[in-house]
Amino acid sequence: MARLTKQEQQEVIRLIEAGKPLPDKYRFLLFDDKREVELVWNGKTNEVTNVVLPFQTIEQVDEPREDAVAQQDLFAMDNRGRQLRGWTNKLIWGDNKLILSSLKNGPLREEIERQGGIKLIYIDPPFDVGADFSIDIEIGDKKFTKNRNILEEVAYRDTWGQGVDSFIAMIYERLSIMRDLLADDGSIYVHCDWHVNAIVRLTMDEIFGKKHFINQIEWTYKTGGTPQAIGFSKKHDHILYYSRGENPVFNQLLQKSYVPTLPEPHTSSGQRLCVRRDEVCELCLNGSPGQKYRMVIARDIWDDISSIFRNDAQATGYNTQKPEDLLKRIIAASSNEGDIVADFFVGSGTTSAVAEKLGRKWIAADLSKFAIHTTRKRMIGVQRELKADGKDYRAFEILNLGKYERQHYVGVNPSLREEQRQQQLQARERAFLDLILGAYRAEKTDSFASFHGKKAGRLVVIGPVNMPVSRRFIEEIILGCRKNRITKVDILGFEFEMGLFPNILNEAREEGIDIALKYIPRDVFDKRAVERNQVVFHDVAFIEVCPHFKDNTVAVELTDFSVFYSQDSIAHAEATPNNGRSKIVVKNGQIISKSKDGTSTDEQLTKTWKDWIDYWSVDFDFENKREIICVQNPDTGNWEEQWTGDFIFENEWQSFRTKTDRSLELKSIYHKCAQGRRKIAVKVVDIFGNDTMTIIDVNVGGKN
């Protein structure tokens, strides 16, 4: 305290004895803090998440190549023309904070580094408290607006609702981990607008260093710009461009610079519009066929890229979707072919789509399950497009943190020994039961050993956190119903064993026991959503399929899809964006379009079970590929591979609706198979983005 005056020393002692914080000036006087400028907010901490959770591979997608030799220089392939080895692109569903931490500190980091590290990160995070979180869905021949899932919406809206402090805390931690994930010659582009541009730039200055700031790019829309009562129309977004190190990858590009003159005067409706060659007319400014441009070295003002409109060919229905041309410029400038590009707020999948087309490897993540589904369909379309053009493409896998994320939220320490982990899991599960019952709005009951609560005349059972609800589990519930003369029960589970329907539930109904299976959504992990009664438990849907055999081939026909949505399940789907005069409701298990003012008749939108389906796919040999995860040995600290007991769904054939083609094939191709017994898996994704899978046993070349 030699640098302090006696008066200052006395003040420090007095404040410490009183348990009060020291004024900021003492930080510089006492601790040799050299920072001249610093961004400070309530609750600031430099600590970031370092949790490592295993990634579970839930699906692998690879459009089979007709010529299995064509891409041998890119990666090894099997005799089906599907990728066998080499880098597989990653589409990850979950909280990007946990995903980033697990990428940075987990075993997948080694694989990323072997590929040269992540050279480019582009993110377009939510940056507006009034942002539109909706996406378009189609039911029958009508288009409706669907809000994002509750977990995502509450997380983002509450971030803003608590003020700028909470937004900075959210983005600061994620940007800090992203910086550590970048290669030394990597770069990051952060897309934002006027709401948070200044804040994000100061945050990035602190994380990356002011010397690593390269550009503030202004993307100027060619259309738009709503007139303001006071002030000028807003017609651009900001893209902040920073590097990790001193010599980032950068490729000089060209952009269009429009020249609003015509070589000759032109006419419209017989009237001359340009009298002189250098005169600018309204037609020229709005992009007439005669408008000319020249190519110039790309600048930090991009006024030659149009935004996305609802009727654009590349539009997916996401309100915040960015045009592919914008990502083409960023990816081409700051990465080379074969580099890894990442986006941790991927939305509709533009970054991954453009990266694939430009020959880059990619990692994409999002909290929204619907975003993952939208991106999956988009990337299958890209694979098909590249295949048709005779170009290379890679397989991609869909990952999540699965039961390990649930265990993390419950609070189980994965580094404990198995016995200790199970003890801790049981203790935390008891506390977590109360949270689930509260989210389901059920009353807790201790009257029965096998039942946890009751709601509206039905008993409620909650399945385990770390494993699927099994047939044996349900059989025990049925025994409990018989013993206690219970006739109605809801079973809530995170996952359900395949093939539970219809046999076991039909058996229960024959005994007068009505069992409803409902999914526990990830939303229960957000207490804010629970407190607001915004958590929706969807009924489990059931798939019926019929195999068809021809010689040593098998095809699968989708024959029924039973889905039981309640009004709560579709409460997040509101009015049509076209006229705002109708809403959708559930009536007798079907979706009905109903006028808000009651002036028109109801229209049933889901006329058949087919109308519920957005996408379905087939794995013709489900137990062909084991799901292997890497876990850390608590004794040695080494990463070890373990089989989870599950198998990876290899997406070998699929049919799905697109914006331009709403048709759906209901019978797959005939797939050549080796003779003998095998399991075929079928996955269906409904119009709200919820997926269901079933497994059937077949005997190829034998009796079935």
Q: b vs e for 96-127, b when ≥16 Cβ sit within 10 Å of the residue's Cβ?
A: bbbbbbbbbbbbbbeebeeeebbbbbbbbbbb
Task: Report the pLDDT value the prediction gives residue 210, as an integer from 0 to 100.
Answer: 93
Strand, helix or coil for residue 541: coil
pLDDT of residue 287: 45
Residues in the chain: 704
pLDDT, tens digit, 9 for 90 and up, residues 350-382: 999 999 999 999 999 998 888 899 999 999 999
Dihedral angle of Cα 280, 282, 283, 284, to the nearest 10 degrees: 30
Decide if 132 is inside a domain. Answer: yes
What tokens appear for 647 in the block? 């198998």
Q: In what order do the strands lie in the sheet containing 671-672?
A: 542-550, 553-562, 671-672
- 269-296 average pLDDT score: 52
pTM, entire model: 0.83
For residues 482 and 546, state if they share a domain.
Answer: no
Task: Mark whether 80 and 68 lie in a shared domain.
Answer: yes
| pLDDT over threshold 80, residue 285 | no
Q: Looking at the domain assignment, is residue 51 inside a domain?
A: no
Contact 380, 356 (CB under 8 A): no
Please state the separation of Cα 173 from the chain's center in Å: 19
Print burial letters for 142-172: b (CB count within 10 Å at least 16), e (below 16): eebbbbbbbbbbbbbbebbeeeeebbbbbbb
* Nearest Cα residue to 648 out of 396, 378, 371, 473: 396
CA-CA distance, 23 to 138, in Å (whole number)? 58
State how far the Cα of 400 lies from the Cα of 59, in Å rounded to an integer: 10
CA–CA separation, 596 and 378 (whole Å): 34
Residue 484 sits at φ, ψ, to 5 deg, of -105, 10
pLDDT, residue 206, reads: 92
Is-contact 534 150, C-beta < 8 A? yes
Domain assignment of residue 468, yes or no: yes
Range with the poorest average pLDDT among 36-40, 488-492, 535-539? 36-40
| The one-letter amino acid at 108 | L
Residues 469 and 374 in one domain: no
Alpha-carbon distance 30 to 1, whole Å?
7
pLDDT at 615: 94
- In this prediction, residue 520 carries a pLDDT of 87
- Return the higher-pLDDT residue of 412 and 63: 63
Residues 677 and 586 in one domain: yes
40 is a domain residue:
no
Residue 112 CA from chain centroid, whole number: 20
Q: Determine the straight-line distance between the first and last CA of the chain, rounded to whole angstroms.
A: 86
The reply to whether 324 and 287 lie within a common domain is no
Number of domains in the chain: 5
Last residue of a domain, one of 266, 297, 328: 297
CA torsion 489-492-493-497 (nearest 10°) is 30
**610 contacts: CB under 8 Å, gap ≥ 6:** 561, 664, 666
Distance CA 147, CA 572 (A): 6
704 lies in some domain:
no
Provide the b/e sequence for 441-459 (b: ≥16 CB within 10 Å).
ebeeeeeeebbbbbeeebb
C-beta of residue 121 within 8 angstroms of C-beta of residue 174: no
One domain for residues 248 and 274: no
User: Is residue 467 domain-resident?
Assistant: yes
Output the domain CATH number for residue 100: 3.40.50.150
Spatial distance between the Cα atoms of 575 and 240, rounded to a whole number of angstroms: 36
Task: Locate 318 and state its tokens.
Answer: 């996401």
Confidence of residue 272 (pLDDT cuts 50, 70, 90): very low
Pair 416, 509 in one domain: yes
Residue 19 lies in a domain: yes
Distance from C-alpha of 159 to C-alpha of 126, rounded to nearest angstrom: 10
- Give the closest residue to 494 by CA, choosing from 563, 587, 432, 582: 432
Higher-pLDDT residue of 366, 284: 366
Contacts of residue 653, Cβ cutoff 8 Å, sequence gap at least 6 = 617, 618, 620, 668, 669, 671
Mean pLDDT, rounded, for 74-103: 84
Read off the pLDDT of residues 288-330 as tens digits, 9 standing for 90 and up. Answer: 455 567 788 999 999 999 888 777 888 887 777 899 999 999 9
Only one residue has tokens 């010397």, namely: 211
Q: Which amino acid is located at 88 in the chain?
A: T
pLDDT of residue 115: 95
**234 with 323, same domain?**
yes
Please give the Cα distance from 46 to 241 (Å, whole number). 22
Boundary-marking domain end, from 269, 297, 325: 297
Residues 12 and 71 in one domain: no
Residue 564 domain-assigned (yes or no): yes
Render pLDDT for 4-24 as a digit per residue (tens, 0 to 9).
788 888 888 888 888 887 776
Same domain, 484 and 587: no
Q: What are the tokens at 378?
A: 């988009």
What pLDDT score was predicted for residue 687? 85
Q: Is 202 exposed, middle or buried (0-12, 13-18, 19+ CB in 10 A)?
A: middle
Q: How far apart are CA 538 and CA 496, in angstroms?
A: 13
Q: Which domain holds residue 7?
A: 1-34
Q: What is the pLDDT of residues 446-488, one digit of tens each?
A: 888 789 999 989 999 998 877 788 888 998 999 999 999 999 9
Q: Where are the alpha helices (DSSP H) in 345-400?
A: 350-357, 369-388
Read off the DSSP letter of residue 85.
S
pLDDT tens digits along 169-192: 889 999 999 999 999 999 999 999
The span from the CA of 146 to the CA of 230, in Å, is 33
Same domain? 686 vs 547: yes
Q: Examine the pLDDT at 67 and tell me if it is beyond 70.
A: no
Contacts of 139 (CB under 8 A, 6+ apart): 584, 591, 605, 606, 611, 687
Domain final residue, candidates 498, 531, 564: 531
Residue by residue, what is the 3-state secondary structure of 582-618?
EEEEEECCEEEEEECCCCCCCEECCCCHHHHEEEEEE
Task: Check whether 273 has a pLDDT greater than 50.
Answer: no
pLDDT attached to residue 357: 97
Q: DSSP code of 146?
A: E
pLDDT in tens, 555-564: 999 999 987 7
- Specify whether 291 is located in the same domain as 310: no
Angstrom distance (rounded) from CA 385 to CA 393? 10
Res. 74 pLDDT band, cuts 50 70 90: low
Q: How many alpha carbons lie under 13 Å from residue 618 in its C-beta half-sphere? A: 23
Helices (H), 260-349: 282-285, 324-334
The model's confidence at residue 75, banded by pLDDT at 50, 70 and 90, is low
Asked if residue 135 has pLDDT above 90, the reply is: no
Kindly state the average pLDDT of the residues 32-45: 70
Give the 3-state secondary structure of residue 198.
Answer: helix
Secondary structure (H, E, C), 656-681: ECCCCCCCCCCECCCEECCCEEEEEE
Query: Tell me, what amino acid is at 578?
Result: N
